[in-house]
């Protein structure tokens, strides 16, 4: 049986969903070429051997860029186009979307070396899965291509964020996967404006203010041109776009809010830090029975220089850094000293109250409102003030410092 007889886009008939681009670009499989159709053809033989089924069927999905890849020969590209036109393979802008959908809805096993970290939030079953993913590997004696079962890794929050960003950039053409250079940083570090003044994404009211208070979406990149995704018009470069870092506040295992830190900005985080600080009083306060009672009014200050994020403990009860790389460890921040954070670090204010640094290198979307609506902040602040007033009646219990008067209508930072 030839290769074509094993190709099927019938989900009910297919035994495996195959990431064609991933297989054809895996360098240690039966070829020295950077991209080779022979790897996919040999994989079919490997699946036959693995299943002992000479009629094995695969649902093959390819990235659209694969059919244009100039590292393939003319004959290879013609073969892929022929299979696509005859309905033997599926071609998507991003093949991963379809592959995970197939695995989720039909239970098909996916053949790929991709870890699919960016999908772990939407499909929690991926992390740690041991029965729906196979790894293409060199065949016996290094000849051909075989498959072996794999256990999917369980990524950290920062890894998920970074992979989600990669998927977003890839779909917009702002990630050069074939060239191996990754994000198109020279373009992503610029601010863009659309010729259409009322454009909701890059119009004058949003992209051209230049005041640092706006957050532009990711632009589209096609054939060497930066385009507006809405109007398909060439965008105008209007200056540098400063990098920001996103931080999420997690309370009792749920991300409650997120915020951005701009270059040369210092942001205080605590129950009621005042000024432009990030208030967590909607979720933690002094009267909490759990760890929330140990969160100070101004607990930690973050500083971002455009490349590195630093944290300084300003609390009464201390701040812990939970580090996962290169090896898991925890240590206390020295009070009053800034210390540099690494990707994946978590800032522990108290039990169940953590700040998580996003793994995203670029921030496009606007700062969002709280993901889980907090209780009415004004009520919480009044309740806390009343409790502290009651505690202060007995000086033998607490020696509380003087506190500034609370605003009548405090604003919640989201």
Q: Tell me the whole-structure pTM to 2 decimals.
A: 0.58
Q: Is the pLDDT confidence value at 125 over 80?
A: yes
Q: What is the number of residues in the chain? A: 414
pLDDT digits (tens, 9 = 90+) for 299-323: 999 998 877 899 999 999 999 999 8
Q: Is the pLDDT confidence value at 390 over 80?
A: no
Q: Is the pLDDT confidence value at 240 over 80?
A: yes
* Dihedral sign for Cα atoms in the order 92, 96, 97, 101: positive
Give DSSP secondary structure letters for 223-251.
Answer: TTEEE-TTT-PBPEEEEE----EEEEEEE
CATH no. for 245-392: 2.60.200.20
- Both tokens of 285, joined, read 């306060």
Local structure of residue 7 (DSSP, 8 states):
B
Average pLDDT, the chain: 82
Helix/strand/coil for 119: helix
Q: Is the pLDDT confidence value at 402 over 70?
A: no
pLDDT digits (tens, 9 = 90+) for 277-301: 999 988 886 666 666 688 999 999 9
Instruction: With beta carbons less than 8 A apart as the criterion, state whether 283 and 414 touch.
Output: no
Q: Is the pLDDT confidence value at 373 over 60?
A: no
Instruction: With beta carbons less than 8 A apart as the criterion, state whether 130 and 151 touch.
Output: yes
- Both tokens of 150, joined, read 């794999």
CA distance 181 to 409: 49
Fold of 3-155: Rossmann fold (3.40.50)
Helix/strand/coil for 95: helix
Instruction: Identify the CA nearest to 45 among candidates 34, 29, 60, 56.
Output: 56
Q: Is the pLDDT confidence value at 366 over 70?
A: no
Q: Which residues contact 100 (CB under 8 A, 6 or more apart)?
A: 110, 116, 119, 123, 126
* Dihedral sign for Cα atoms in the order 25, 28, 33, 37: negative
Q: Is the pLDDT confidence value at 1 over 70?
A: no
Domain boundaries, the chain: 3-155, 158-240, 245-392
Q: Name the region of 46 (left: φ>0; alpha: ψ -120 to 50; beta: rest).
A: alpha
pLDDT digits (tens, 9 = 90+) for 52-100: 999 999 999 999 999 999 999 999 999 999 999 999 999 998 899 999 9
The residue ranking higher by pLDDT, 176 or 20, is 20
CA distance 282 to 380: 7
Residue 264: pLDDT band by 50, 70, 90 thresholds?
confident
């Amino acid at each position: 049986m030839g290769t074509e007889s094993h190709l099927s886009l019938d989900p009910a008939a297919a035994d495996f969903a195959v990431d064609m681009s991933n297989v054809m670009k895996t360098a240690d499989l039966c070829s020295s070429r950077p991209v080779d159709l022979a790897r996919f053809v040999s994989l079919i033989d490997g699946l036959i051997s693995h299943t002992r089924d000479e009629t094995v069927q695969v649902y093959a999905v390819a990235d659209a860029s694969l059919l244009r890849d100039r590292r393939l020969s003319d004959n290879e590209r013609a073969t892929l186009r022929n299979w696509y036109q005859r309905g033997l393979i599926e071609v998507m802008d991003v093949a991963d979307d379809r592959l995970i959908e197939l695995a989720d809805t039909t239970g098909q096993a996916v053949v790929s070396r991709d870890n699919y970290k960016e999908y772990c939030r939407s499909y929690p079953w991926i992390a740690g899965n041991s029965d729906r993913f196979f790894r293409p590997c060199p065949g016996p004696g290094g000849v051909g291509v075989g498959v072996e079962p794999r256990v999917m890794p369980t990524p950290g929050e920062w890894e998920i964020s970074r992979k989600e960003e990669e998927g977003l950039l890839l779909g917009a053409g702002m990630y050069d996967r074939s060239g191996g250079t990754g994000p198109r940083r020279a373009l992503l570090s610029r601010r863009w404006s659309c010729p259409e003044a009322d454009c909701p994404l890059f119009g004058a009211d949003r992209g051209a203010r230049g005041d640092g208070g706006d957050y532009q979406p990711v632009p589209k990149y096609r054939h060497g041109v930066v385009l507006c995704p809405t109007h398909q018009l060439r965008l105008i470069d209007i200056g540098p776009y400063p990098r920001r870092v996103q931080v999420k506040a997690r309370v009792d295992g749920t991300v409650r809010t997120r915020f951005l830190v701009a270059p040369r900005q210092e942001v205080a985080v605590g129950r009621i830090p005042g000024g432009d600080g990030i208030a967590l009083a909607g979720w933690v306060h002094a009267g909490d029975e759990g760890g929330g009672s140990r969160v100070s009014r101004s607990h930690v200050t973050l500083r971002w220089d455009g490349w590195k994020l630093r944290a300084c403990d300003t609390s009464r009860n201390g701040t812990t850094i939970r580090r996962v790389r290169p090896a898991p460890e925890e240590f206390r921040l020295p009070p009053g000293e800034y210390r540099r954070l690494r990707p994946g670090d978590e800032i522990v204010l108290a039990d169940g109250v953590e700040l998580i640094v996003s793994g995203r290198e670029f921030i496009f979307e606007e700062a969002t409102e709280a993901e889980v609506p907090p209780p009415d902040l004004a009520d919480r602040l009044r309740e806390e003030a009343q409790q502290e007033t009651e505690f202060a009646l007995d000086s033998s219990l607490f020696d509380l410092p003087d506190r500034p008067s609370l605003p009548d209508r405090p604003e919640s930072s989201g």
